[in-house]
Chain A
Amino acid sequence: DAMVIQNPRYQVTQFGKPVTLSCSQTLNHNVMYWYQQKSSQAPKLLFHYYDKDFNNEADTPDNFQSRRPNTSFCFLDIRSPGLGDAAMYLCATSTGTDTQYFGPGTRLTVL
């Protein structure tokens, strides 16, 4: 089945220790997104790629970076995680003209 896969599903890191979250898709969608979602809040868009065209939201902290080496994969790097970065990180994909399809998410805990 075509799908969006995120690894790991759960990530525990220490304050200030860099972490990388990964997302892959078999849908062959042009657009890939990274969202941050905290409890009882709306998903907050961090970045999206239309093919290799990178789009950074104005309020995304510099601590967050992203890479999309090819159509199928996208990575989220958190350079120096703080306690406030503990959240669910959601990857999503779309064709750019239709709905967004979400992966299962990575729950990040910062100790």
Chain B
Amino acid sequence: QKEVEQNSGPLSVPEGAIASLNCTYSDRGSQSFFWYRQYSGKSPELIMFIYSNGDKEDGRFTAQLNKASQYVSLLIRDSQPSDSATYLCAVPEVYNFNKFYFGSGTKLNVKP
């Protein structure tokens, strides 16, 4: 079992819809979770991080964390074509914050 798992997609949504991206992790002790966006041929850039159970909102982005079920989600409201990218979930190793486990990413296509 991989430490961090994501559906590779592609996930296609129409412009203006809500895109929901999911990530599951294997280590129940994990405390912090990061979402990165990666455009094709570019490097990952941080979108959001979340430490506590529940929701965290930042503009059109909402991160949701459920530690009991060991999943973290990213919701993108009012999706735009410019949101089309691969979204990577990253979870630091429990006893070594220097080591992040990355999922392989979910490719999102937002259709005009």
Contact = CB atoms under 8 A, between A and B. Distances in A.
A43 B98 contact: no
A94 interface: yes
A99 B34 contact: yes
B46 A101 contact: yes
B102 A42 contact: yes
B-side interface mostly: strand
Given A40-B8, A42-B88, A42-B105, A100 B100 contact: yes
A12 B79 CA distance: 37
A70 interface: no
B43 A42 contact: no
B42 interface: yes
Given A43-B44, A104-B42, A96 B49 contact: no
A90 B44 contact: yes
Interface residues of A, number: 23
Given A40-B8, A99-B34, A45 B100 contact: yes
Interface of B: 4, 8, 34, 36, 41-46, 49, 88, 90, 97-100, 102-105
Given A48-B99, A99-B46, 20 more contacts: A42-B4, A42-B102, A42-B103, A42-B104, A42-B105, A43-B88, A45-B100, A88-B41, A88-B43, A90-B44, A94-B98, A96-B97, A96-B98, A100-B34, A100-B100, A101-B46, A102-B44, A104-B43, A105-B42, A105-B43
